[in-house]
Amino acid sequence: MSVLLLIPGCISLFLVLRGRIETAFLSVYLPSLLLIPQDYDLRLPHLPSFSAADYALMPIGVVALSRYIRGRSLRLMDVLVFLFGVSYCASEILGEPIMNDGILNAAAFFVSPLLPYLVGRQLIEPELRFETVRRWVIFVLLLAPIGLYEWRFGVKAFGVLAQKLNISSMSPTVALRNGRGRLSVSLGGGELTGIAFAVTFALNVWLVFLNKARTGIDLGKWLARLEKYHAPELIFLLCLYLTQSRGPMIALAAGYLIIQIAKFKKTKLATGLVAILLIMGALGAKRYFDQYTAGEVNYDNEQRASAQYRRQMNIVYQSVAEMGGWFGWASAVPVLGDQKSIDNHFLLVHLTQGEFGYILLILIVTESVRSGVARVWSLRALEDRTFACVMLAIFAIFWISYYTVFMGGQLPQITFLLLGWGQSLVPGKTGTVPVVAVQSQSRFGFRRVLT
């Protein structure tokens, strides 16, 4: 039954060949990315394992790559992402005990996250911005009832479905904390799902702004009614709380503070004030964390034990990361004691990709913040400036959260898709044209894309 995972890819390819690239992105790739677990995968002969979202992405990614090459618009982030991919490929090929495995892993990186970055960079702005956000919010809202079921009964609905269809070995049970299931739905573990819900909450803030400002944008009958009573943001906050993941909660608090910058006329002054508040909050959080995690691991308190585990992990693996040199250990990272899970993506990259990959990741983080702030300051229209603040908040959510968890599940695609999207926001190029108008434009024709 795993062959069913090829269906989104076949539909996407058909639509792309017919020149309906925006439909393939909005109606095939996005639902596959958000509603189908990454653990639902299929490996074809001589290829890595790919998920339904991967297969749906490939035809769209080829178009995005073609447009990027023809457009000749090079940005610093493009170079950093490319070099990060080179670092990953070098680490895998040189560090894997079996070179063929390293080559397959390197090939998988081209599909995810390199192609999502190119898709975000080339296909969304300006015409598809509104429709992408609207559908993203709707798809994640559809996961809420499933998440409530998981939290109440401790049963992973997608795991049960995977076993019945025999398409994945996903467990039918969810992780428990405080006697309840940690909401995970199709997006991975509790922390990863928390990040996805926090990001969706931030995107929904822009829809709330459009609806409140009466910009003439049609949210759809039932979504407009839900937004009227603030139901989506309450649902996203509830689901985030039910993941029982503190990292994404803290990250969303920081991100929501960043979004408030758009409300001030003097954006540079507001940015400075928000930066001061965030720095003060970070210092206070570090002091509290140091006190909270002091001493031996307290297994009687699960949340404290988890925090103490992370602190010890960050300490003991620093020397291992330094021993990995410039290209790291790949999958052969030595396991120290019972520290088998590396719940810090920055540390994980340092271990697996070495100094080269770690430095590039830090530069990607820095450039995402720098370019995000630059767009907040340069965009004149309030609608565009608000969206730029939302994107900057999303980057803050990513980077704060990844200090407490690795980038797993669909998060590599989501992260790099939004990184590329953020790079395409430029003054004078933003807008919110309805998708119907976009689909009627011949410039999306496939022949003009690939010739």
Domain count, the chain: 1
Q: How far, in Å, are 104, 167, 245, 307, 347 from residue 303 at the CA level?
A: 37, 33, 9, 6, 21
Share of the chain above pLDDT 90, in %: 55
Q: What is the residue whose two structure tokens read 């998060």? A: 411
- For residue range 267-320, list pLDDT tens digits in order: 999 999 999 999 999 999 888 888 877 777 666 677 777 788 888 888 889 889
Residue 146: count of CB within 10 angstroms of its CB: 17
Q: Is the dihedral of CA 148, 153, 154, 159 positive or negative?
A: negative
For the cut 60, the answer to whether the pLDDT of residue 186 exceeds it is: yes
- For residue range 26-85, list pLDDT tens digits in order: 999 999 999 999 999 988 888 899 999 999 999 999 999 999 999 878 999 999 999 999
Q: What does the pLDDT read at residue 426?
A: 66
Q: How far apart are CA 21 and CA 27, in angstroms?
A: 10
The model's pTM: 0.91
For the cut 70, the answer to whether the pLDDT of residue 448 exceeds it is: no
- For residue range 362-421, list pLDDT tens digits in order: 999 999 999 999 999 999 889 999 999 999 999 999 999 999 899 988 999 999 999 999
Structural domain range at position 392: 2-450
28 in Cβ contact with 15 (< 8 Å): yes
